Chains A and B, each alone.
Chain A
Amino acid sequence: MAKIGGGVSETRFVSTTGIALLCVLVGVLLLFSLPRDDPRVTQIRQAAFDVFMPIMDTLGRPFVALRETTLEVSELGGLRDENHRLLAENQALRLKINEMTQSQFLMQQYRALLDLPPEPGLELLPVRVVADLSSPFVKTLVAKGGENIGIEAGLAVIGTNGLIGRVISSGQQSSRILLLTDFNSNIPVVALASDVHAILAGRNNASPELQFIPRKAELKDGDLLVTSGRGGRIPIGLPVGLLRLDADGGVPKVELLDDVKGLIHVRVVKSAQIEAPPDIDPSARKGR
């Protein structure tokens, strides 16, 4: 029968509205009562990702495959040029490898002289990104693989060229990666050419800022920033980005080496804790 009209319907209309209203109220309540940084929320999220991971993984595969195919097809055209470029690069790299072998040998000798423990090697765990949760709120990724393959909170994560973020929580089979661009990301870095220590702080946009720069630091535009290993947890010397000075003297920005958008394959850096060598005190060395 016609549902619209009857007295029963009218009350039902009100009651459904009532239910909806109540639900909205619950939303508001949740929104303003649950603290955002609550560790319990993080746990719930992590647990949810563990549950949804397989679904998202499966759902994502065709997209990823499609994207990779498109990339391959588009690359096909430039194959000859690419080949030439790579050959030239290969030659240059061979020279570099020679230099590096030498440096490595020297470094070993120095470490022995200083009685430093041998440098622990970096173990890289390749993982696949199943979800990119970049939104106005956060810049995080969900990766396939968690405690089951030894991923734990705090580990650094690198992309093709350099650091992209670090693991902030890990579940059984998934882990969450906080990107360098997130507001909550603060990584101690050092500018190589000027030897200035600072903090790379995410701003929820594409280019993080360099903060806490010493007063008399002389920064160079385009300087390479690498992780300084200060404060532990993140190994020393992972490349991060290039310094971009603000012409008006504002806060310097950093152009990340890796585009953190649309990442599919990343590597988690597993290593024993590498402490920074004890004799480098940035404050003692700079501007004092």
Chain B
Amino acid sequence: MTPLRRPDVSAADGGSLWLVPYAVLAGFILLDGLPIDYQWLGRIELGLYFVPIFFIAISPSERDFAPFGIILLGLVNDVLSEAPIGYWTFLFGLFYLLAMGQRSLLQEARLGAIWANFLVLCVATYLAGYFIGLLRADMAIGLGVYFSSAFVTSLFFPLLYIPLAWLETGALSASLLRRDE
């Protein structure tokens, strides 16, 4: 696999393209509430939210908005998902923070490495979620389910990450092309 080198979008004129991952995240939050019976998931708690967060966190372009945006969306998810207020805020924030630490490391990394990294962070975050659930709420779910949830979530990672990255790169090259003209 070729390294997924991501451009610094902020340096280029990406327009409002940087908002896409946030929109995806918001979409997942709303989608999660829909009355759809995901029976095939069993007791797995899918956390697709973490993919756009990861994408935002390791983006070479820094925005002061990022942590605020993520925390805000976490809060919205708290309200809409009836989790204890602060649960998703914390988990989103924690995941973002952990992923940010990997940013420089992952700049030149291949997709496989990024994916593995995502998996590790997922496990860590799910673990945190599990303990918060224990401390704070009426959770009736085993640790095993949490680990499996982290793994299953990471299975979806490339499906979401690659399109996001392509979108970003494509848009950027388009904008660079425009500038060159």
A interface residues (Cβ-Cβ under 8 A, vs B):
1, 3-4, 12-13, 15-17, 19-24, 26-32, 34, 36, 41, 44-45, 48-49, 52, 55-56, 59-60, 63-64, 67, 129-133, 135-138, 140-142, 183-184, 203-205, 261-264
Residues of A within 8 A of B33 (CB): 56, 130-133, 142
Contact residues on B (Cβ < 8 Å of other chain), bracket? 35 or more
Closest to A57 in B: B34
CB distance from B38 to the nearest CB of A (A): 9
Query: Quick one: given A4-B104, A27-B71, A52-B30, are A34 and B84 in contact (CB under 8 Å)?
Result: yes
Chain A residue, CB-CB nearest to B89: A27
Q: Are A133 and B82 in contact (CB under 8 A)?
A: yes
Any A CB within 8 A of the CB of B177:
no
Residues of B within 8 A of A136 (CB): 45, 133, 137, 139-141
Interface of chain B residues 65 through 91 with chain A (CB within 8 A): 66-68, 70-71, 74-76, 78-87, 89-91
Cα of A262 to Cα of B41 in the assembled complex, Å: 13
Please report whether the interface of chain B is mostly helix, strand, loop or mixed according to DSSP: helix
Among the 9-residue stretches B14-22, B94-102, B109-117, B159-167, the one with 4 or more Cβ atoms under 8 Å from chain A is B94-102
- Residues on A with C-beta less than 8 A from B133 are 136-137
How many residue pairs bridge A and B at CB < 8 Å?
A: 166
Residue with the highest number of chain A CB atoms closer than 10 Å, among B11, B45, B84? B84
User: In the complex, are the beta carbons of B34 and A204 less than 8 A apart?
Assistant: no
From B64, B76, B87, B132, contact of A19 by CB (8 A): B64
Residues in chain B near residue A26, CB distance under 8 A:
71, 89, 93
Complex Cα distance A131/B89, Å? 20
A137 and B8 contact, Cβ closer than 8 Å, known pairs A48-B80, A131-B80: no
- Cα A21 to Cα B45 in complex, Å, equals 26
Nearest Cβ in chain B — how far from A209, in angstroms? 12
* Alpha-carbon separation in the docked complex, A56 to B85 (Å): 20
Chain B residues whose CB sits within 8 angstroms of the CB of A59 once the complex forms: 30-31, 34
Contact B140 A60 (CB under 8 A): no
CA distance A34 to B83 in the complex (A): 12
Is B180 at the interface (CB under 8 A from chain A)? no
Nearest-CB residue, chain B, relative to A46? B79
* B45 CB, min distance to chain A CBs, angstroms: 7
10 smallest beta-carbon distances between A and B, as pairs = A262-B37, A31-B86, A30-B86, A27-B90, A24-B93, A131-B33, A27-B89, A132-B35, A204-B140, A23-B71
Task: Establish whether residues A28 and B80, one from each chain, have CB atoms under 8 Å apart when the complex forms.
Answer: no
- Told that A17-B100, A20-B67 touch, could you supply 11 new A-B pairs with CB distance under 8 A? A16-B62, A20-B100, A23-B68, A27-B90, A27-B92, A27-B94, A31-B87, A44-B79, A60-B34, A136-B45, A137-B84
Q: Check if B1 is an interface residue, CB within 8 A of chain A.
A: no
- A204 and B138 in contact, given A3-B8, A16-B62 (Cβ under 8 angstroms): yes
Contact across chains for B85 and A30 when beta carbons are under 8 A apart: yes
Give the distance to chain B from A85, nearest Cβ to Cβ, in Å: 24
Residue ID in chain B nearest A25 by CB atoms:
B93
From B60, B68, B75, B76, give the contact of A3 (CB < 8 A).
B60
What residues of chain A lie closer than 8 Å to B2, measured between beta carbons?
none
* A-B contacts, 21 listed (Cβ < 8 Å): A3-B10, A20-B100, A23-B93, A27-B92, A28-B90, A30-B78, A30-B89, A36-B137, A45-B82, A49-B80, A56-B30, A59-B31, A132-B36, A135-B82, A137-B82, A137-B84, A137-B139, A138-B82, A140-B82, A183-B138, A204-B139
